[in-house]
Structure 1
Amino acid sequence: VVYTYWNDRPQLPERIKPILKSPIVALGGAARVVVPYTISSNFPKAGETLIGNVHSFVYGQSPDAVLSTLSPLRAGNKGFASWLNEQGANVTLNGEELTDHVFDYLMPVQGANGGIFRSNDPVQTFHMAGMGAMLAAIRPDNQDSRLDLELAHGMMANYVYPADQHLLAMNKERFVQEGILTVSPELAAFIPERYHDRVFVQPYEPKGRGVDFTPDDFTP
């Protein structure tokens, strides 16, 4: 079962509560942004098949739409916060230093002996290394979930799935083989200089219809 939210405005979601409170209506031609926010299956490791089916259905029904997630930087009982602790970082929860560490956390990490690249974040691994999505925006200071606050310091991300399967395949290969993060132009403006050679900027305007990828201001 895949639960989705859709919006008739070209705006990527920033908060989870408005999504959960939205009425259930049929996906129609008016959809501009479609967000799968809960995937449930009795079969282990079925996520890739399910999100692949959602991708085909959404772009088949609404080719002008954008398929995006709103994902916390956590999985299970670990996430961005526990990773920061492991690094011995001492940061304020809403300062620029915290968001600077977000990019440290999300940058691909090479495996042992020069192996393939992976992510510190299992959710990012699924969407970017597994499926080829792009990182479109970082959403700080989400307070709708106690777990998101405790395990991710309220940090969430929009992972966007281009309609073009070739782009998905190239994004995935870029991440896994080269350690390159595919990002939106709007997010690229926030990437620390030390990572400028490790990002690929992918403009994405489906069918010529612009989408607002603008991230929140990271500063308090």
Structure 2
Amino acid sequence: MTTFVLVPGGWRGGWYFSGLADRLRTAGHRALAITPTGVGDRAHLNAADVNLDTHIDDVLAVLATEEVSDAVVVGHSYGGMVITGAADRAPSGVVRRLVYCDAYVPEDGQSCWDLTSDAYRSVFLDGAAADGYTVQPRPGSDPRVTAHPLASFLQRIRLDGAGLREVTTRDYVYLSGWDGTPFTAVRDRLSHDPAWRVHTLHSGHDVCRDAPREFLEILLLGEEP
């Protein structure tokens, strides 16, 4: 049995992965869906000082309290920033595999702001115009999404590489079915890196809505119940 730790992208809580978590459990695995501080059912904790480090600490706290080891940690979109930091800071033996789904893959000193497109930088700034620290979701979004802490998009990640060196398997899932994706260059770069397994799904950015079965198949590659 594998423990899957699921980290959502911006504006979304653990609810985003509820269906996927159920499917993983049906397949004989353990699934823990993270709700980062300040979003979802923890939206009441949003504040100007909630940042990327806060969200990394959220994941590390779950790993510790749930006594997780040998885990597969999955990040969607902004969640790629979070899982990178969590894997790097986790104790030895806790994280075995990382799966980035249409996600940012930062190096030391990079932020989501640095890695995203001009269009998404505008989304961040325009969305935070009301109070300066919470990025409101775009009109027409899923009604469950909530404002997201601006500082988490702006803070640069700090990595020393210790925990990341223990990760034995890295997957990148590129979702090709939407316009304006900032992830094409990431897919192209990692496709030439033998340390990565790169997959392409013809899906919009909302993979749990558009390609849930195909995404599940990728997660289960090599994982025995």
Please, what TM-score do these two structures have when normalized by structure 1?
0.32
